[in-house]
Chain A
Amino acid sequence: MKRPSVLGVCLLFALTVRTEAVRAESPRLSRDDQRTVDLITTAYFAGEPLGYAEPLTKLLGKTTDQRLAKIDEALKAQLVPVTAELITNVHLQAVEYGIEAKLPPAGPRETLSVLARLKLRVAAADGIAQDHRLMQDPLPDPGTLEEYDTLMWDAHVLETKIRNTAAIGNHMRRLVSGLSKRRVAELDAASSALIDDAQGAILLKLQLLLAEVEERQAEVRLQRLELALATLENPTLTTERFRAAYTAQVDADLLSNFLTNKSAFIRERLQSKDLLEQVSRDREKAQELAGDLTHKSQLLFTGLHWWLRGRYGKGTDVFGLAKSPAAMYSGRAQLALYMPQEFPKPNDPEQVSNQQQPVPQYDRRHHYWWAWEDRRVRRSLQFANEIEGDPGNPTYTRQPVIM
């Protein structure tokens, strides 16, 4: 039997395997442009979008369409996305980490290009929200706490997505404010419409959508709290009772926080004046019924949560193996991870074909992370799509909040 090469397990390729044959198809560039392409390419294959922010912004600020087309061609020949896509990724990452202010100032070309792509993201996220089961009436009401786990995960994924998208909407408005009035007046009709949307309508729509998602999620938590209380009434120790001890406290705490910090609600059930008090009473009752199960269940489920993050979470850099250097100074960047949108089902690493995505991405992290020093972790198309691709169909999303 042919012995599998270690290159297989170490997922080697990328930089050094961008062959001369590929290079041969690249257009001829000036020395400066070639240097820029090399800088961008190196940062791209290192998996560090913020690393190519400056050369890209500089390039987009001074170049002509014709020259840019040649550079895009050169990037494509090296299997790197085109400049418009790359610069959008830069902005997206900055938004996710809350470090937009650290980006070099965008010129008109960059602003319009990024706005157009961000608008597509916003539309895709809106579409996902409209089809989500949390957004249907009546609200879903699973019969068991175990089934609620999946619903709450789905709801949390949606909330995170819309929250992130609202941050994108905010960034769009900020980008527009950087354009001069004279420049805006010169724009064609389509670009003007884009600027108008980015100035306010998009953000407003997303803020309303986020409010609705949060309220629906809160209402589902109320349902789950009721079910947990009913479950705790039965003293027989079961897995459902153990779950109830945990979820009752989590839901009561999150609901109290939510109801305290908001003054007005769209949904009728949340408008009840004594709801906050009721939640507080339910919390105490649940604790009384659960006894020491409350603490024990918290230890278990908190541990399981962090285990899942460690097992399936992907950082933004080095193909999921690392977080951004921004994590050194940004709390958001430290906590942020790409997490599966659905509960993952691991597959057998020995049975996974080349066409399949391994779940989790790394069977053991220590088998791979030594390789990041020479940046030879494979960059598969599937994986690239998860992180940077079509927002309408990503496998992963950010999950920075404990459920």
Chain B
Amino acid sequence: MIEEIVKQRDEFVVYTNLSRRYEDDFTRAVAGDRAKRGLGWIMALARVELGAMRAGFTDERSPFERVPPSRYEMPQYTEILLDSARTHYLALGNDPVAQNFARWSGPPLTSGRMPDKARVPVERQAIAYARRAVIASQFADAVERLGQSRLTSEQYAQLQQAKQNLESLRSAIVYRILGLGVEVVSSTRIDTIPAGRSYLGMVPGKVELPSMDPTPAPPIP
């Protein structure tokens, strides 16, 4: 009956599979009915949004686990969490700004001094992208923890690949662009990305998800 109350009202419709718009025709999942109705969907969405807020604005290590799903909405939660992780990951992979940051080889913007006026917007953007990479990583971590026993070894490897790519981007921004300390770990460099579909979605080939490609950075706008 509660389900009926929620289902009969349009305002509680939740659209899913939003990552679909970042996939090409070959990898795109079949559309299906993306308009979902029911208590499980709205609870799942609320939990994912709340977890994401914690991921973005706190330093909690497991932000999504502070608001875990009940068994009731677990299937919906899994779908929305995975879709969100895919969206963040694929969107970053398609973002030329993220690519520029990942390839950054110039001197840090703020190594011990205030950036000059022209570089302030770039610095601001770099901070935003660092936050974005952290959020995407937290989503990938949450997917990993949620799917622990259910991931195949191939899916697990793909997920690790995605996490490494995201960590590379974050590391490039924090250390090489913002100059916030010394980059100690450099073993996350990804030179080749296997073609095919990862657990999070298509592993970008041409579009190159953040890698540590040492080509010179383009001029700062």
Contact = CB atoms under 8 A, between A and B. Distances in A.
Interface of A: 1, 3-7, 9-10, 15-16, 146, 237-239, 242-243, 300, 304, 307-308, 310-312, 343-346, 348-350, 363-367, 369-376
A400 to B, nearest CB: 19
B155 interface: no
Given A312-B11, A366-B84, A373-B128, 16 more contacts: A1-B24, A9-B21, A9-B87, A242-B2, A307-B42, A345-B11, A348-B34, A350-B18, A350-B20, A364-B18, A366-B55, A366-B56, A370-B132, A370-B135, A373-B127, A374-B128
A5 B22 CA distance: 8
Interface of B: 1-2, 4-6, 8-15, 18, 20-22, 24-25, 34-35, 42, 45-46, 48-49, 52-53, 55-56, 84, 87-88, 91-92, 94-95, 98, 121, 124-125, 127-129, 131-132, 135, 207, 221
A350 B92 CA distance: 18
A117 to B, nearest CB: 33
14 contacts: A3-B94, A242-B2, A343-B9, A343-B11, A345-B13, A346-B10, A348-B35, A365-B53, A366-B56, A366-B84, A367-B18, A374-B124, A374-B127, A374-B128
B46 A243 contact: no
Contact of B22 (A3, A312, A348, A375): A3
A208 B53 CA distance: 43
B18 A363 contact: yes
B46 A307 contact: yes
B21 A1 contact: no
Contacts of B49: 310, 364-366
The 6 closest A-B pairs by CB, nearest first: A366-B52, A373-B128, A6-B95, A370-B132, A6-B91, A6-B94
Given A366-B84, A369-B56, A373-B128, A1 B25 contact: yes
Contacts of A371: 128, 132
A375 B132 CA distance: 14
Contacts of B1: 237-239, 242
Contacts, number: 125
A346 B15 contact: yes
A373 B122 CA distance: 11
A344 B10 CA distance: 7
Given A310-B46, A364-B87, A3 B15 contact: no
Contacts of A300: 2, 5
Nearest to A242: B1
A262 B9 CA distance: 35
A363 B20 CA distance: 13
Contacts of B53: 365-366
B72 to A, nearest CB: 13
A382 B99 CA distance: 32
A239 B4 CA distance: 8
Given A1-B24, A344-B11, A366 B135 contact: yes
A370 B91 CA distance: 13
A243 to B, nearest CB: 7
Given A364-B87, A366-B52, A374-B121, A346 B135 contact: no
B125 A374 contact: yes
Contacts of A9: 21-22, 87, 91
A138 B69 CA distance: 48
B11 A308 contact: yes
A311 B11 CA distance: 9
Contacts of B34: 348, 350
Given A239-B1, A307-B46, A363 B15 contact: yes
Contact of A346 (B11, B46, B207, B221): B11
Nearest to B83: A364
